[in-house]
Structure 1
């Protein structure tokens, strides 16, 4: 009780008075997206990569609006006025979020204009119709008539034709018309219509270049349609055409307990999501008052309207930057993932029988995971394969391997998380394909998302069975594995194998909670395990023994976890955290968190691995996990934290953590006032992602230790 009172008194003074003990989750997320925008603003970042970062900020903001802001609006509509643990009511937080978002959007488009100016100097540009030569205009007109016009659908809005369904995150044109031959008593009336800019066509259209010119010019599809909009409305004069875009509530509400068929229930909910309530309206600057009034009335939005000085939805810049040819000097140098040296021998399972192997993507190829499944599918002595799938690539080699295994008579069990947000439809399709092939497909446990990343292979060997396990921090997705940093462990350690079997039994059957030997599994056992580890460090600190915690994750927002870290800090435990995104803990506050340091790294690759290391009285325990330290991960998901038993592999992961903490190029440190500051560059520049690219340098050390002091799996 006394410690709790001391924590409540330990508040950091800010310029506006006393700040709260915790940082709000949504405001912290906006700070994260701001750090992404800073990469787009950074002149040292290659120009086309800056466009990519700007596109990411746009798609990030879309999801934030459709999920987090939508949720706050639902709370406000329900009349909830209770403050959250960071001290905000839904109404108060919405005001703060929207104010900051308005400033952020203005900075986005200021950055967009600057990047377009710099790109034009390099010989590539997005041009307006007025900048085209007559011959270019004719070419664009032909493209419109042959490719664009046939897929356009003008939708009038009047008494007999009600306002159509406007899809979330799609660009539309609001058209204000006046009849060429006015109807009596309506000659002062404006007619309105809507035209969708077809998302099935490229957003940018290459303009034929001038003779002997190397410049690449592109015209936005909506500008091309605007120029020829009159062809859709014969007998009317076009008074104004402006783009708009809405974001709908994208969250899903499933009654899993009463659903007879979860797959069918989810499909129904996905259809309902298309009609979710609008939470944001983006309009082109200078929109005609009649069009704006129509949109406000039909969408029932009086506020949360963003007037945009530029093209709507900057996420198109991601594909646009990829279209530009001959500009590799404006991109990051390519990183070719290395195939792990440990598996250069063809027999992967033989290697895993001999020693545990750690792989680190994207520097090491995800092909090794594919090969693990392919080899298992083809091996006549493999009896069973069990796997969790959360987000899967559109052309997944892993799924095809599972299909092949099932068709060859193996027992294949796949836990497919069909509720993975925005991947629901793809995962439903995969689930049906796997079922058709004869796999036993499970959709997880009611009320919980299955977020663990585990593969189990059971093989018959010399009259007994041996379990081979892969545990990862990231999704089984070949595409994102090239863009995200993630760790994966291959092992046949008997305790890990037994726990993997128990985990799948719990997810597919009615097994009682397992007495975990190696794993810590959410929602029941992960948080208690983390608390036990922290409590042990607290006890060791009080005894004068080595006591520290180093952890890496995407987000930290669970109040109980934050309070436990505050407690550890007050006991003298040194805590260093690498938290890429949301962080509700306020570090460096005297009497509360002065022993806690937090850094965030935003760079070329998305920092995605979850790693925990503790002093353990000098024994240095290390774990990898699928879970962030958020309430949803610790209490509403199936997550796994797995120990790394091999000393050499532990040393590899500790090297990675130290590398991140010593980054003085792309690291930003969270300050007590909740702002982030770039780490001061002292001495030799160290950019952790680029240093990590030289994997053999640090991995060889760990492999040497492993060879000499390997903990045998049997």
Structure 2
């Protein structure tokens, strides 16, 4: 067990530092302008979820008097104070970035946002027509008085608070009168205006505020302002309920009624409206965030995609056909010949979809088993699984209903799969199933063959275009046996087996990593080749951190690529001198998890779904698998080395817990993401050249391969 006095950086504060790195990308003038807006929107979306889950959780701990078990971490009271200070400063930086840097840059490009006071007569006529024809029929003004209580406002919805006075002078008690108008989330947040020279836009809430007198004809409008409430959205679920699906639906509804944890207001909010909202929402003053700009910056993500501004965006990374499958018309034949590796999004996710689609149509395929954690809204994987069931295949799908904020989507898919005749499992009691695995059982001339796809990312064709992940296809019989055992544990009452190749949580993954790290420590003490290289999204687990500190003290070089939260502190004398941590934040979201251990000169490399967090090691079904094919091992090694050599998007974590950009130091600029994209293109061209005279038909068309 790790030393209780060991250096440990609080996970929530570390997460705030990660979001600050994303915000840095929004401030970078070398990034394309619309991408800077997109990064700013991401920081807003990230912060929303952080408040809904993490900050809400800390507040709950404070209210319940919870005391942390680990003496090296902050108390909830200490943490909440730091978080509130840090988030106020962070949100000020968000709006400073928008108003002082991005808005002037947009104006230089001839793009501006106008308030109604700044519009010319043609533009005012245009918004009047829009209000009359589109907005007015959708709006529902809600008076708040003795007979009409303050409405239950949806989490994260944008609303207007209106302070009114009656025009009927003889009416008694007309001192203060209030109403709420919800800004319709169903309509676009911004509207393009007619404009001579350049492009002009306005926000929906500005149009509504300009036209409030048409909604409240019997009153004078004294003041109005937008506001936004973020609610506690962490779900409590009774997993012993007889109807788990029904319990999930109830929990989702409860989430919408959670206690407010943040109120966002404009900096110049009328004092009467502010008092009214504080009173109605029972919000504390330190939970109020007064902002110098439009509320809810997440809309900027859609704005960044407006037509006509493609030159202000990153050059898209358009996935190419995977070189490993080039020249094959039969995906099973390709996998029979050799293990195959695909690196997304540089190489197309289509091969994963085609793996399931071909299995659905293949007469020799008997069964398909797959885990689904997050899938897209119009998932071709789901469509293929439904087709497989309709074709008489035995289809078993684990749909994780507890995938946070994807619960409703997953419930809908689970119901559709069930109706099609698939066997649907909702996950295991007390655990989330987070592993990424698809198993196809096929009848062949020499007997039954099991084909596998094992991945680091979700079976989601949408996120596969922006998340970096790695997938392995194999029909190795030992991997197949492990896969069957894993599915038997998930779907039945099987005891967790002794896997031949897989390391699986919650019963064997912690001990696997512990043994591997300790082995490197022992090798260092014996003077044998040693080293640990790992890429994860988050490093939080105290025991793993303690073991890495011990390895460092023994002389093991530890190189870590940690995108987000990192509770380990590198570079501390006599603790972590041999540990370096970098974080890569760039055009794509780094999502793959990869682990390399030098193993006394016979290096081993593993990939999988698990981060180094207690939840992944102890409370989830996770899968980590080895790469054993020699060619693929070398490719996996090169992926890790490329990431470690990035000097464009990489930031190094310093002993004081701050991050600084990795400097070029005379070296040419290297973006690992761009290098991987170039490598995918070159590998495909090389295969196309070799296969030029081959009569085989490629899986992908030439158009898809460019």
User: RMSD between aligned alpha carbons?
Assistant: 1.7
Q: Is the 8 A contact 1:555 1:581 kept in 2?
A: yes
Q: Deviations over 1:627-671 (max 9, x none)?
A: 100111111110000011111111111111111111111110111
Q: Is the 8 A contact 1:648 1:701 kept in 2?
A: no
Name the structure 2 match of 1:564: 547
Name the structure 2 match of 1:276: 258
1:478-489 matches, within 5 Å, as: 478-489=461-472
Name the structure 2 match of 1:300: 282
Correspondence for 1:90 among 67, 76, 79: 76
Correspondence for 2:311 among 300, 314, 329: 329
Q: Deviations over 1:556-591 (max 9, x none)?
A: 001011011111111111100000000000111111
Q: CA–CA distance in 2 between the matches of 1:587 and 1:255?
A: 40
SS of 1:590's equivalent in the other structure is: coil
**Taking structure 1 as reference, are residues 208 and 47 closer, same or farther at Cα in structure 2, changes over 3 Å only?**
same
Q: Is the 8 A contact 1:580 1:602 kept in 2?
A: yes
SS of 1:527's equivalent in the other structure is: helix
Q: Is the 8 A contact 2:11 2:565 kept in 1?
A: yes
The answer to whether structure 1 residue 410 and structure 2 residue 388 are counterparts is no
Correspondence for 2:320 among 335, 338, 358: 338
Q: CA–CA distance in 1 between the matches of 2:447 and 2:620?
A: 34
Name the structure 2 match of 1:518: 501
Deviation at residue 183 of structure 1 after TM alignment: 4.1
1:122-133 matches, within 5 Å, as: 122-133=109-120
Q: CA–CA distance in 2 between the matches of 1:623 and 1:129?
A: 58
Name the structure 2 match of 1:690: 674
Deviation at residue 197 of structure 1 after TM alignment: 0.3
Q: Deviations over 1:524-550 (max 9, x none)?
A: 101101111111111111111110010
Correspondence for 2:560 among 563, 577, 599: 577
1:219-298 matches, within 5 Å, as: 219-256=202-239, 258-298=240-280
**Taking structure 1 as reference, are residues 250 and 183 closer, same or farther at Cα in structure 2, changes over 3 Å only?**
farther
Q: CA–CA distance in 1 between the matches of 2:476 and 2:257?
A: 50
Q: Is the 8 A contact 1:533 1:614 kept in 2?
A: yes
Name the structure 2 match of 1:608: 591
TM-score (norm 2): 0.95
Name the structure 1 match of 2:443: 460
Q: Is the 8 A contact 1:76 1:90 kept in 2?
A: yes
Q: CA–CA distance in 1 between the matches of 2:212 and 2:150?
A: 19
**Taking structure 1 as reference, are residues 85 and 357 closer, same or farther at Cα in structure 2, changes over 3 Å only?**
farther
The answer to whether structure 1 residue 176 and structure 2 residue 158 are counterparts is no
Q: Is the 8 A contact 1:85 1:559 kept in 2?
A: no
Name the structure 2 match of 1:637: 620
Q: Is the 8 A contact 1:248 1:277 kept in 2?
A: yes
Deviation at residue 692 of structure 1 after TM alignment: 1.1
Name the structure 1 match of 2:64: 78
Aligned residues between the structures: 684
The answer to whether structure 1 residue 161 and structure 2 residue 148 are counterparts is yes
Q: Is the 8 A contact 1:600 1:669 kept in 2?
A: yes
Q: CA–CA distance in 2 between the matches of 1:249 and 1:183?
A: 44
Name the structure 2 match of 1:143: 130
Correspondence for 1:530 among 513, 517, 524: 513
SS of 2:304's equivalent in the other structure is: helix
Q: Is the 8 A contact 1:40 1:49 kept in 2?
A: yes
Q: CA–CA distance in 2 between the matches of 1:236 and 1:486?
A: 58
Correspondence for 1:38 among 24, 35, 38: 24
Q: CA–CA distance in 2 between the matches of 1:291 and 1:130?
A: 22
Q: Is the 8 A contact 1:649 1:702 kept in 2?
A: no
Q: CA–CA distance in 2 between the matches of 1:553 and 1:426?
A: 26
Q: CA–CA distance in 2 between the matches of 1:508 and 1:462?
A: 29
Q: CA–CA distance in 1 between the matches of 2:577 and 2:93?
A: 33
Deviates more, 1:538-547 or 1:397-406: 538-547
Deviation at residue 691 of structure 1 after TM alignment: 1.0
Deviation at residue 81 of structure 1 after TM alignment: 3.9
Q: CA–CA distance in 2 between the matches of 1:319 and 1:184?
A: 46
Name the structure 2 match of 1:653: 636
Correspondence for 1:360 among 326, 338, 343: 343
Q: Is the 8 A contact 2:161 2:273 kept in 1?
A: yes
SS of 2:305's equivalent in the other structure is: helix
Correspondence for 2:428 among 445, 465, 486: 445
Q: CA–CA distance in 2 between the matches of 1:702 and 1:278?
A: 57
Q: CA–CA distance in 1 between the matches of 2:172 and 2:394?
A: 75
Q: CA–CA distance in 2 between the matches of 1:589 and 1:699?
A: 41
Q: Is the 8 A contact 2:52 2:232 kept in 1?
A: yes
Name the structure 2 match of 1:110: 96
Deviation at residue 680 of structure 1 after TM alignment: 1.6
Deviation at residue 209 of structure 1 after TM alignment: 2.2
Q: CA–CA distance in 1 between the matches of 2:552 and 2:520?
A: 10
Q: Deviations over 1:308-346 (max 9, x none)?
A: 1100000000001112x2222211112220111222211
Q: Is the 8 A contact 1:652 1:698 kept in 2?
A: no
Q: CA–CA distance in 1 between the matches of 2:686 and 2:525?
A: 32
- Structure 2, unaligned stretches of length 5 or more? 688-706
Deviates more, 1:242-251 or 1:298-307: 298-307
Q: Is the 8 A contact 1:24 1:86 kept in 2?
A: no
Q: Deviations over 1:52-78 (max 9, x none)?
A: 000000000000000000000111111
Q: CA–CA distance in 2 between the matches of 1:504 and 1:298?
A: 50
Deviation at residue 362 of structure 1 after TM alignment: 0.5
Correspondence for 1:27 among 6, 13, 23: 13
The answer to whether structure 1 residue 120 and structure 2 residue 107 are counterparts is yes
Correspondence for 1:48 among 24, 29, 34: 34
**Taking structure 1 as reference, are residues 593 and 182 closer, same or farther at Cα in structure 2, changes over 3 Å only?**
same
Q: CA–CA distance in 1 between the matches of 2:510 and 2:71?
A: 19
Q: Is the 8 A contact 1:651 1:702 kept in 2?
A: no
Name the structure 2 match of 1:16: none
Q: CA–CA distance in 2 between the matches of 1:318 and 1:86?
A: 39
